[in-house]
Amino acid sequence: MRTANILHLGIKELRSLLRDPMLMVLIVYSFSFSIYTAATAMPETLHKAPIAIVDEDRSQLSERIIDAFYPPFFAPPALIMQTEMDARMDAGLDTFAVNIPPDFQRDVLAGRSPAIQLNIDATRMSQAFTGNGYVQSIIGSEVSAFVQGYRTNVTPTVDLVLRSRFNPELNKKWFGGVMEIISSITMLSIVLTGAALIREREHGTVEHLLAMPVTPFEIMAAKVWAMALVVLVASACSLFFVVQGLLKVPIEGSIPLFLGGTALHLFATTSLGIFLGTLARTMPQFGLLLMLVLLPLQILSGSVTPRESMPGFVQAGMLVAPNTHFVMLAQAILYRGAGFEVVWPQFISLVLIGVALFTLSLARFRKTLATMA
């Protein structure tokens, strides 16, 4: 009887979700447009960076320097006057502004060391950090070639052979698409279960459930499996049609193994959503709680920055979060083709964390229902 109750209550949750257009739009957006835009807009490489050049020398050397900046790394340089440089950077029109001083070519040929001023908009961190080295290298190469009369290819003493494993193209889409799926899985699982509980409280259907011969365990288990199933199906479709189909990201490992780990992760995060739903009385309160919980989970789990770069106490503390283990197993399976013999510690960790969160949420849920009764 308990299994039948859980099944029928879960079907009721699915029907309620289908009648909520806003949540349906959120699910579709999170596993389609959001993943595509996050994968294609990751600012890790220099691409068409806006640059302006003040040419006060107007010499053959300055012309060579100007012509050396071209797509795809830089946009075609804008030739401006010195009086325009600060105003354009203040307006955010240029990330880089190069000022070539008068008599620059003459000073170079005379053996002096003239200075070229490079202004950088450091608020655009990714472009500023990468482009700084590009600009210095381009200018240095053009000046050296002009002085010597030819371009030299210096033979290195040691031949460094680069081998980029797991992403030989160094394609940012391969990283962004998968990591966005992980973030969407966590966010939607918490949102859907918490919203389902709060929606019943606001509509007054919780009292109807209390009058039925069902237990708090059955009510909570039904919400967990129904919302977890929705997110699991949506993530599988997104992985096949968006990541593999649209973005052309190769998946090295076993997708069924990844979905198995996703199911365990959803068991933990849906239980967490129930817990947050018992703390919040309204959807606005739930939204505030969600920001306090979701942002640390995503930022400190290793999906954005490597865990090794974080302080030791943060690394140790995040081991109790399901996201940390889910990111580890997802990267190992989807990127490196790892099997169960590699990721079994993460599977066990997700089981233990899920059981702990489910038990805690069930106790809180029973207390909430007791106060309502």
pLDDT for residue 155: 63
What integer is the mean pLDDT of 40-60?
Answer: 82
Percent of the chain with pLDDT over 70: 95
Return the pLDDT at 238. 93
Residue 272: what pLDDT? 93
Residue 269 has pLDDT above 80, yes or no: yes
pLDDT class for 273, splitting at 50, 70, 90? very high
| 65 band by pLDDT with thresholds 50, 70 and 90 | very high
CA distance 41 to 325: 26
Q: Identify the structural domains of the chain with CATH numbers, from first to last.
A: 2-42+167-372 (no CATH), 51-148 (3.40.1710.10)
Burial status of residue 277 (CB atoms within 10 A of its CB: 0-12, 13-18, 19 or more): buried
Closest CA to 283 of 170, 198, 182: 198
> For residue 154, what pLDDT band results from cuts at 50, 70 and 90?
low
What's the mean pLDDT in 246-258?
A: 88
Average pLDDT of the chain?
Answer: 86
User: Per-residue pLDDT for 198 more than 60?
Assistant: yes
| Mean pLDDT calculated for residue range 163-178 | 75
Q: Look up residue 273 and give its two tokens.
A: 């959503």
- Output the pLDDT for position 158: 74
* Mean pLDDT, rounded, for 320-334: 91
Is the pLDDT at 28 greater than 80? The verdict is: yes
pLDDT for the residue 227: 93
Q: How far is the C-alpha of 61 from the C-alpha of 68, rounded, in Å? A: 11
Pull the structure tokens for residue 296: 């640390």
Write down the pLDDT at residue 160: 74
Neighbouring residues of 123: CB distance < 8 A, sequence distance ≥ 6: none
**What pLDDT shows up at residue 331?**
87
Of 46-60, 116-130, 194-208, 236-250, which range is least confident? Answer: 194-208
pTM: 0.77
If we measure between CA atoms, which residue out of 67, 132, 69 comes closest to residue 95?
132
Question: Residue 167 pLDDT > 90, yes or no?
Answer: no
Q: Across 74-88, 118-132, 159-173, which has the greatest mean pLDDT?
A: 74-88
